[in-house]
Homo-oligomer: A and B are copies of this chain.
Amino acid sequence: MEDQISKLSDAANRMRISSIEQTAKANSGHPTSSCSAAEIVATLFFSEMRYSVKEPRHPSADRFVLSKGHACPILYAAWEEAGLLTREQVLTLRKLDSDIEGHPTPRLEFIDVATGSLGQGLSCAAGMAYTGKYVDNASYRVYCLLGDSESAEGSVWEAAAFASYYKLDNLVAIVDVNRLGQSRETMLGHDLFTYAKRFEAFGFHSIIADGHDIADLLKAFDEAKKVTGQPTAIICRTLKGKGIEGVEDKDNCHGKPVALDKAEIIASKLTNKTKIPWELENLINDAPNVDFEIGNIKMSSPPNYQIGEKVATRLAYGNALVKLADTNKRIIALDGDVSNSTFSDKVLNKYPQQFVQCFIAEQNMVGVAVGMSCRGRTIPHASTFAVFFTRAADQIRMGAISFANVKFAGSHAGVSIGEDGPSQMGLEDLALFRAVPNSIVLYPTDAVSAEYATELAANYKGITFTRTGRPNTPVIYPNDEKFEIGKCKVIRQTNEDKYLLIGAGVTLYECIKAHDMLSSEGIQVAVIDLFSVKPLDSQTLIEQAKRVGGKVLTVEDHYQTGGIGEAVALALGDVPGVRVRSLCVKEIPRSGTPDELMDLYGISAKKIIAAVKNY
């Protein structure tokens, strides 16, 4: 035991030295935030956790999430200590050609989720733990290291409530209470008791420990393993910059490298100057193989609607989702207590094991989804009202940096929801999801295209968003119509077209109405169902725009910013002779009927006709 402690203590100090050297070489980064966590991370990596250095993403390995991502030098140092990385490699910290980035990202094979925007790690960890306990039914445990400052983020408490509600006794949160934030002392300083009380109130078993006392940490991790039916929080008293002479526990040392002689002082205190290699290939190999292949996921049956039948696209989403769940046990539906509006409750009703109720906590829902998608364990489908994804915009952003494979579906898009008013209307959601690098954004108009959109999204590896609507709208496509990511549909065209209307969802119906009325007056317009908002079908748009003589009018139930109009304007911006005008929602809407609102905010057939005549 003595021996083990001194070995772990030396590991912690070697990791401190590495952290100091990494950040000194980079001339930026967070050595003090790393050093407060040195014993915690050393104990976790070299006594507690079971994993494979050869295969860091082994499905059965324990997971580690560094929620306080800025402390990544200590994480890189841990993998150096474990033998996966060399000192030379970690000393490339923050260099352009290195994946040893300023904050952790899964460009590195031992990182599951990107962190650096604070307070998000515990949700991802909870998603992994949920998967381990209920989907994989495997032994792996999940450890999440949080900073004390970041526990001010509400998302931490959303995650805590979720973890205890689902009795995730395979989840351990460790809080590195080093007292100091970036600009000043935290709200609670070293009041460990209050941290413990908060976690207990949120259903955790809590343990207070000295975060620099390895024996105490070993005891705490042991205790955590014996806890059943609830997750554990280990609240560790630490000092920021621990071990760095003249810096330890001092204010104004956040995110500042220290001189290399500080590392030498630590080196001189090592019990064993020579490192003894660790034996680490100790995981319990009991996570099952996953049985899906992205690109080959199919609904159990094709859409089955009648042309003209009125079906909301949100309902069709629910229908498609349950048909995907029919064929694939790792399709998971996540909900924020609106499943009876988004129709994800169809999965709940048929396959309760494939449904995760996240209650009204969208940030955590997204974090859990990102966590569940890690190592390809599941294909999470998170749905709520389109507008409420705004609540989790930062989690979605970090999901992108995590290269997560999560399917989002947002219902109740736009003013066409009607009476509930602006707080419930998704008018920024296309912009939110278009801004995600490598994302796919689909906006189906009818039930048939909504089902295919859902199937297409499930087969794309990365973040997707499918926008669905509240009103019941007529089916316009046959059940065997083919849809593709990046392809629009030209649904009305003649040789006399003088204008091109581009719509999607509710506005496509208005475009069709406008087409019919204009046509009866002898004015011919082509109509495109955009379907794939991202990527845009630029080729078809350009061809059609040129064909009609250059006058393009986009119509969308969305604000201007980042919506269809701006996307199309830039895509066609470089085509000589092509002009783009946009009809979209331009002010804060009110309550009213869908038809009234669409007309008031300028996206009705009537307003389209006026815009065409005034072009």
A115 adjacent to chain B (CB < 8 Å): yes
Q: Which residues of B contact A115 (CB under 8 A)?
A: 423
Q: Which residues of B contact A581 (CB under 8 A)?
A: 573-574
Q: Which residues of B contact A26 (CB under 8 A)?
A: 419
Q: Which residues of B contact A443 (CB under 8 A)?
A: none
Binary per-residue interface labels of chain A (344-387) against chain B in the complex, 1 for a CB within 8 Å, 0 otherwise: 01000000000001011101100000000000000000000001
Alpha-carbon gap, A566 to B341, bound state (A)? 33
Alpha-carbon gap, A576 to B578, bound state (A)? 8
A565 adjacent to chain B (CB < 8 Å): yes
Binary per-residue interface labels of chain A (287-317) against chain B in the complex, 1 for a CB within 8 Å, 0 otherwise: 0000000000000000000000000000000
How far in angstroms is the closest Cβ of chain B from A252? 8
A186 touches B580 (CB 8 A): no
Q: A105-B422, A201-B198, A428-B397 are in contact. Are A154 and B152 (CB under 8 A)?
A: no
Binary per-residue interface labels of chain A (325-351) against chain B in the complex, 1 for a CB within 8 Å, 0 otherwise: 000000000010111110001000000
Pick the contact of A187: B105, B149, B161 (CB < 8 A): B161
Q: Which residues of B contact A345 (CB under 8 A)?
A: 183
How far in angstroms is the closest Cβ of chain B from A161? 6
How far in angstroms is the closest Cβ of chain B from A494? 24
How far in angstroms is the closest Cβ of chain B from A463? 11
What is the count of identical protomers in the complex?
2
Q: Which residues of B contact A478 (CB under 8 A)?
A: none
How far in angstroms is the closest Cβ of chain B from A271? 34
B155 touches A161 (CB 8 A): no
Which residues of chain A in 541-578 are interfacial with respect to chain B, using CB atoms and an 8 Å cutoff?
559-562, 565-567, 569-570, 572-577
Binary per-residue interface labels of chain A (101-119) against chain B in the complex, 1 for a CB within 8 Å, 0 otherwise: 1110101000000111111
How far in angstroms is the closest Cβ of chain B from A70? 8
Pick the contact of A565: B197, B360, B570 (CB < 8 A): B570
Q: A391-B117, A588-B437 are in contact. Are A338 and B424 (CB under 8 A)?
A: no
Q: A96-B591, A421-B105, A423-B103 are in contact. Are A183 and B335 (CB under 8 A)?
A: yes
Q: Which residues of B contact A586 (CB under 8 A)?
A: 437
Alpha-carbon gap, A559 to B572, bound state (A)? 18
Alpha-carbon gap, A427 to B562, bound state (A)? 13
A156 touches B153 (CB 8 A): no
Binary per-residue interface labels of chain A (414-453) against chain B in the complex, 1 for a CB within 8 Å, 0 otherwise: 0000111111100110011011011000000000000000
Alpha-carbon gap, A590 to B420, bound state (A)? 42
Q: A96-B590, A361-B154, A597-B96 are in contact. Are A435 and B183 (CB under 8 A)?
A: no
Alpha-carbon gap, A29 to B101, bound state (A)? 50
In the complex, which of the residues A114, A184, A588 has the most CB atoms of chain B within 10 Å of its own CB atom? A588
In the complex, which of the residues A156, A202, A397, A401 has the most CB atoms of chain B within 10 Å of its own CB atom? A397
B419 touches A28 (CB 8 A): yes
A130 adjacent to chain B (CB < 8 Å): no
A516 adjacent to chain B (CB < 8 Å): no
B149 touches A359 (CB 8 A): yes
B588 touches A400 (CB 8 A): yes
Alpha-carbon gap, A592 to B577, bound state (A)? 41
The residue in chain B whose Cβ has the minimal distance to the Cβ of A391 is: B394
Alpha-carbon gap, A95 to B401, bound state (A)? 43
Q: A154-B157, A338-B183, A423-B398 are in contact. Are A570 and B560 (CB under 8 A)?
A: yes
Pick the contact of A421: B103, B150, B156 (CB < 8 A): B103
A435 touches B117 (CB 8 A): no
B183 touches A339 (CB 8 A): yes
A579 adjacent to chain B (CB < 8 Å): yes
Q: Which residues of B contact A419 (CB under 8 A)?
A: 26, 28-29, 94, 102
A94 touches B337 (CB 8 A): no
Alpha-carbon gap, A28 to B417, bound state (A)? 12
A200 adjacent to chain B (CB < 8 Å): yes
Q: A101-B590, A569-B566, A596-B96 are in contact. Are A435 and B431 (CB under 8 A)?
A: yes
B149 touches A340 (CB 8 A): no
A194 adjacent to chain B (CB < 8 Å): yes
B437 touches A102 (CB 8 A): no
Q: Which residues of B contact A579 (CB under 8 A)?
A: 573-576
A residues adjacent to B (C-beta < 8 A): 26, 28-29, 69, 94-96, 98, 101-103, 105, 107, 114-119, 149-150, 152-158, 161, 165, 181-184, 186-187, 194, 197-198, 200-202, 335, 337-341, 345, 357, 359-361, 363-364, 387-388, 390-391, 393-394, 397-398, 400-401, 418-424, 427-428, 431-432, 434-435, 437-438, 559-562, 565-567, 569-570, 572-577, 579-582, 586-588, 590-593, 596-597, 600
Sample of 15 A–B contacts (CB below 8 Å): A102-B420, A114-B423, A116-B421, A149-B359, A153-B361, A153-B391, A183-B357, A198-B198, A200-B201, A390-B393, A431-B435, A434-B562, A438-B587, A569-B573, A570-B570
